[in-house]
Amino acid sequence: MIRVGRRSFLRGVIGGTVITVGLPFLEWTHKWIPRGHAATTSDGFPVRFGLFFWGNGILPERFVPQQTGDSWELSEQLQPLRSFQQKLTVVSGMQVAVPNVEPHFATAAGILSGRPLQSTGANATFAGPSIDQVIASVLGEDTLYRSLEFGAASNKGLSHNGPNSINYPETSPFALFDRVFGKSFKLPGTESVTDPTLALRQSVLDAVTADIKKLQTKVSSNDKVRLEQHLDGIRALEKKLAKLAADPPNLAACAYPTQPEPDYPDIDGRPQLQEKNAAMAEIIAFAMACDQTRVFSNFITEPVNNLLFKNAPAGHHQLTHDEPGEQPEVHAITVQCIEAFAAQLAALDAIVEGEQTLLDHCMILGTSDVSFAKLHSGDDFPILLAGGAGKLKMGVHYRSPSKENASKVLLTLARAAGLDMTSFGDAEGFVNQSLSAIEV
């Protein structure tokens, strides 16, 4: 019986030339994510999902609204979202309960994956897929890009397919534009432009598929499963090639976004965060309107970032620990992060789909890596939900009376996207109940 090792390669022949394709280890998708069917909105549009993430947390007393229910007022730090209050729900009082073994990153893993960190230090990795990839497993099946990850100032990857499998964010607006709206993109109603590499790429997949089918007759039952998983990956690639070759869908809202600047250099040591974020927010909004993807993750900044924000006297992370008292400088930085979140929502809300907007057809999760950064707290975690896609109650402030597990929000989102899930997360992040108070 032949065993297929982790370093094995699949071989095929094209025109007498041997080609090889590495055989990846793909068990995670079957291990952690059940089957489902992509959800649609009541007016027939696909449900989309977006994650907006900023590093270094909040000041809870200035972030959390005082009132609850549907008669609430925006807090100081949420003022930039005043145009979206009826399309926004604040979830407060929730706890990220995973062990805080590595400040910032442990609670980031908790709020994004519902699991403790699998390892710490230089090799830190999530123990399972992050919520964006869980949802992409069902919403991303029929689009050219299963998901898109980007961020104005985030080089570290927090979007995880599974342990040690990271989707690193694109930090250049121009590169993001070129990737999605470059030479291979076609507007609805325009003449198809044939990519000469498509036929060769399809031939490679055909050759590798033939090699897999031969191997399946010679290997153990466990390896047959792995080979079938690899075939699933090849079928997904074939679907993407077919998408590239096919005429674009007839989507009334589809258009080119504004082409961004080639570069956004720092000014006096300060990154152009708002400018880069605004450009990326518009690009991803039109990527969704053109059905290039239905899942995105916007990591505007990363955990422990020490960026110099506008008007700040020192780096962000340094200020969260060193600034005394009520931390007015940290407050001002947090407001800038929420302004960037508002820009993302505005880009989505500007695109009309039917009698609603693209934002109305999205579920957007806004969150961070900690609550009160000075204490690396996982209590009263910042959780913002926007759009709702007709699946979530909007315009309310829900405050947990009992420090409920924040993974309840992740289970709620996954189920609303169409996944047949009865539980989410593991260990201290495990839940088997969703947050029914915000479900429609």
Q: Based on C-alpha coordinates, what's the Rg of the chain?
A: 22
Answer yes or no: are the C-beta atoms of 396 and 86 closer than 8 Å. no
Which run of H or of E encompasses 391?
Answer: none
Classify residue 388 by its DSSP letter: -
The two tokens of residue 355 are: 């009698």
260-268: long-range contacts at Cβ-Cβ below 8 A with a sequence spacing of 24 or more? 260/173, 260/174, 260/176, 260/177, 261/173, 261/174, 262/174, 263/172, 263/174, 264/173
The residue type at 336: Q
Contacts for 254 with CB less than 8 Å, ≥ 6 apart: 187, 188, 248, 286, 289, 290, 291
**β-pair type (148-150, 295-299):** parallel
Q: Phi, psi (5° rounding) for residue 199?
A: -65, -40
Q: DSSP readout, 32-58?
A: H---B---B-TTSPBPEEEEEEESS-B
CA distance 75 to 85: 11
> How confident is the model at residue 157, as a pLDDT?
87
> How confident is the model at residue 316, as a pLDDT?
99
- For tokens 């019986």, what's the residue? 1
List Cα–Cα distances, 289 to 100, 115, 147, 309, 342, in angstroms: 39, 33, 14, 31, 19
pTM (2 decimals)? Answer: 0.85
Residues of the chain where predicted confidence (pLDDT) is lower than 50: 1-9, 11, 13-15, 18-19, 22-29
Q: DSSP readout, 184-224?
A: T---TTSPP---THHHHHHHHHHHHHHHHHHHTTTB-HHHH
The two tokens of residue 34 are: 């059940």
CA distance 310 to 94: 31
Encode pLDDT of 144-187 as tens digits: 999 999 999 998 889 999 999 999 999 999 999 999 999 889 88
Contacts for 196 with CB less than 8 Å, ≥ 6 apart: none
